[in-house]
Chains A and B, each alone.
Chain A
Amino acid sequence: MKLTGAEIVWEVLQREGVKVVFGYPGGAILPTYDAMTKYPGIHHVLVRHEQGATHMADGFARASGQVGVAIATSGPGATNMVTGIATAMMDSSPMVCITGQVGSKAIGSDAFQETDVTGVTLPVTKHNYLVTKAQDVARTLREAFYIARSGRPGPVLVDITKDAQQLAAEFDWEAAAPRLPGYRPNLRALPSEYQTALDLINSAKRPLILAGQGVIKANATRQVLELAEKAQVPIALTLLGIGGIPAAHPLNLGMMGMHGEAWVNQAIQQADLLIACGMRFDDRVTGNLRTYAAQAKKIHIEVDPSEVNKNVRVDAALMGDLGEVLDEVLPSVRAADHSTWLDHITSLKGDAAVRDIQSLPDSGHLYAAHVINDIWRLTREGDPIVVTDVGQHQMWEAQYFRHEEPRSLITSGGLGTMGFALPAAVGAKFARPDKEVWVIAGDGGFQMTMAELATVAQEKVKVNIAIINNAYLGMVRQWQEFFYEKRYAATPLLGPDFVKLADAFGLRGLRVTQRSEVQAAVEAARHHDGSVVIDFQVEQEDAVFPMVPAGADLDAMIRRPKPQPQLDVLSETGGDDEWEMPR
């Protein structure tokens, strides 16, 4: 069958099972857009900025486990995608980005809207391609999909010259099968590694599982829980691991790391064995590497060999798909009783519950933690998908929204990309139209990509948007409060009237300033047909606790303030004695 390169693009997308693509047209990609009209089976979502297209594709991928697709034109269209590609790369999100490029004869001539896109995106893609011939389009795209979703997933960019889109070539799906002699997505560990790991597991007294996003990506919840239950091993989660293990599971301790609960970090520091499952010992979860889990042997179950021994030296590395590796390990794991260790961890909680903001009575102030916890209580029966932005609200979400299902929290972890939430939520909703989707964003990050409200309106997607509005770049302000003597340089933030803004986009806007109003607003949003923006005007100078200062020992945390009777302990002014610096 003879088709143009542009038609071949859509043929391949169709055969790869793509139902929706997110994009923005322009000169160099016009032939592909023109051919799109012949493929009504694929829905195109017109974004308002190409960054939005990449976050949507990413959100789609994270919610579905399938490859997300974003399309843009050459030059500025492609460079606008870079942030979204880097975000997907850091969080191993499978994505294929298709960009138009100037004609192959013009390459290198600084032609209009020419950018070396494969050069620019080289370090932030799993792999990328420049296609200059129509006959190479099919195989390249098939390889791109295969690379994006296999092994450790990631974004792949395919830059296609305008002439390669326009000219015709023979299209033969079978003949265009990927040929990747150097690509090894599946590795297996030697039996000796398994033996070492099993000996460590079966002899540990204070074992702990560190569960990362790999649990979700590999669909290995069942296996991790089996290991935990059989050997009675408690589980700590990374930010991206949230949802991989049900929050309600008795062995789930919750989040570790910079804003994890203190007792979780203490447990890591005291463990004699860490079983890392699909996590990569990021600096946000280890703190000071020199003192990190010094008493613990370490087993690393990983799909990407380059992660092993990168930050933390390990005693056994089991390479491969997490679920498959655990299936192999499990029959030889001995049932164990670690009740002394589990009791000890419980005792580490100390007065944490008393210090928890949830235990404070309603003081008339609106705290972000309360808002988020209320949204959870009001929506929990449907296990909604929550997509957060980056900042304080993101950490409060991780702490106060309890996730029972994989893929129910979508957040930019590795890159920490502000502006991620709204577009990623649109993508998530396209992936899971059956699910209730909530955006939880800060007033800062929301303003970075709020133009996508127009996409929300045009596409009539239903997402509920909670803006945690503290009139600050809150997380940065918190660092200034703690480490820069409250010099609030460039963090106070004047936002628009978000209710009017929603109105301007033809959406519904609500404002909440009191805790007593939260429930009604959340209910109203849920029952409204279209998307709703809720402006939660929260305490301005609230801080996320506990906190490991960057580079400090993992258990040297700044604790939550102790509640003082009759006093509003988290008041906006706050003296130095409000929170305790680590010993």
Chain B
Amino acid sequence: MPKHILVAYVEDKPGVLNRVASLFRRRAFNIESLTVGRTEQDGVSRMTIVVDADELMARRIEANLYKLVNVLRVDNVTDKPAVARDLALIKVSAANGKRAEILQLADVFRARVVDIEEKSLMLEVTGSEDKIEGILNVLRPFGIIEMVRTGLVAMARGSEAVSANPPQLPAEVTEAPLVDSGLALAHSV
């Protein structure tokens, strides 16, 4: 199934991650990765959610995310010009004089060496998911001892930023947002 990358701005309150995770579990939406972190705006966290979903399903996920009271905004950046990055730490076996060879490969992938032991190396690599798959493939024959990935974070290109700062207005006065299509995509104004 195709992948969709959703960026969700959520209120930074206890339990919000649980609500999002629970939604995906309950509706049987398939999460490939979910990252969450602070943003430049106080009180707003940002989640990058990668889902296995076709277009229609992605819209449904978006609509369901919007139903969560603490979700401020959702952007599907899949088809937008965006930078998407994953970070991996890879501990690879470097015994029997393989170190130089590994270092050469690391260089090709612009991976950084962050730890060197007698029989192993730790590499740090950031990039698209494809790039990380690539370096993993070439390192596998040497023996990967341990590996961890952060999951994707994404940001749209261009000089504009989406404001998701919670307007401190009484709920009753917020204006009704427009729904942009028959596929019922709710968009905040």
Contacts and interface: CB of A to CB of B under 8 A. Distances in A.
Given A190-B180, A305-B186, A310 B60 contact: yes
B72 interface: yes
A146 interface: yes
B181 A182 contact: no
Interface of A: 118-119, 122-123, 127, 130, 143, 146-147, 177-184, 186-190, 193, 196, 302, 304-306, 308-310, 313-317, 319-320
20 contacts: A119-B18, A122-B19, A146-B171, A178-B170, A179-B171, A180-B171, A181-B174, A182-B11, A182-B166, A184-B188, A186-B176, A187-B186, A193-B179, A304-B67, A308-B184, A309-B59, A309-B183, A316-B182, A317-B179, A319-B179
Contacts of A193: 179, 181-182
Contacts of A188: 176-179
Contacts of B14: 130
Interface in B147-189: 166-172, 174, 176-186, 188
A30 B166 CA distance: 36
Contacts of B56: 309, 313
A483 B8 CA distance: 47
Interface of B: 10-11, 14-15, 18-19, 22, 26, 56, 59-60, 63-64, 66-73, 166-172, 174, 176-186, 188
B170 A179 contact: yes
B18 to A, nearest CB: 7
B46 to A, nearest CB: 13
A315 B179 CA distance: 15
Contacts of A130: 14-15
Contact of B10 (A147, A182, A302): A182
Most B CB contacts (10 A, CB to CB) among A143, A181, A306, A315 go to A181
Contact of A306 (B10, B64, B71): B64
Given A143-B171, A178-B172, A306 B179 contact: no
B170 A177 contact: yes
A338 B8 CA distance: 48
Nearest to B189: A184
Contacts of A190: 178-181
Contacts of B176: 184, 186-188, 320
A123 B168 contact: no
B69 A118 contact: no
A314 B171 contact: no
B22 A315 contact: no
Contacts of A122: 18-19, 22
A180 B71 CA distance: 10
Nearest to B176: A186
A269 B70 CA distance: 41
A196 B183 CA distance: 13
Contacts of A319: 179, 184, 186
Given A127-B69, A182-B11, A190-B179, A177 B171 contact: yes
Contacts of A178: 170-172
Contact of B182 (A147, A179, A314): A314
A184 B183 contact: no
A534 B172 CA distance: 47
A151 B18 CA distance: 23
B182 A181 contact: no
Given A181-B167, A309-B184, A310-B60, 17 more contacts: A143-B171, A146-B171, A177-B171, A178-B170, A181-B166, A181-B169, A182-B73, A184-B66, A305-B179, A306-B63, A306-B67, A306-B184, A308-B182, A309-B56, A309-B59, A309-B60, A317-B181
Nearest to A154: B67
The 7 lowest CB-CB distance pairs between A and B, nearest first, are: A181-B166, A308-B184, A186-B176, A305-B184, A177-B170, A178-B171, A306-B63
A317 B66 CA distance: 17
A189 B186 CA distance: 10
B26 A305 contact: no
Contacts of B188: 184
B188 to A, nearest CB: 7
Contact of B72 (A181, A304, A309, A317): A181
A196 B182 CA distance: 9
Contacts of A123: 22, 26
Contact of A189 (B15, B60, B64, B179): B179
A196 B70 CA distance: 33
Contacts of A316: 182
Most A CB within 10 A of own CB, among B19, B60, B176:
B176
Given A123-B22, A179-B171, A181-B11, A305 B185 contact: yes
Contacts of B73: 182
Nearest to B70: A182
Instruction: Select the residue from B60, B67, B167, B181 with max chain A CB neighbours within 10 A.
Output: B67
A306 B68 contact: no
B171 A187 contact: no
A180 B19 contact: no
A317 B182 CA distance: 5
* Most chain B C-beta atoms within 10 Å of own C-beta, residue among A184, A188, A305, A314: A184
Which residue among B167, B178, B180 has the maximum number of chain A CB atoms within 10 Å of its CB? B178
Contacts of B170: 177-179
Contacts of B11: 181-182
Contact of B68 (A146, A182, A305): A182
B126 to A, nearest CB: 31
Nearest to B57: A309
Contacts of A118: 15
| From B26, B171, B181, residue with most partner A Cβ within 10 Å | B171
Nearest to B9: A182
Nearest to B67: A306
B167 to A, nearest CB: 6
Contacts of B15: 118, 130
A96 to B, nearest CB: 14
Contact of B60 (A182, A186, A306): A306
A119 B11 CA distance: 18
B69 A147 contact: yes
A186 B178 CA distance: 9
A563 to B, nearest CB: 46
Given A179-B168, A179-B169, A305-B63, A184 B184 contact: no
Contacts of A182: 10-11, 68-73, 166
A127 B13 CA distance: 14
Given A196-B182, A305-B186, A184 B174 contact: yes
A316 B183 CA distance: 8
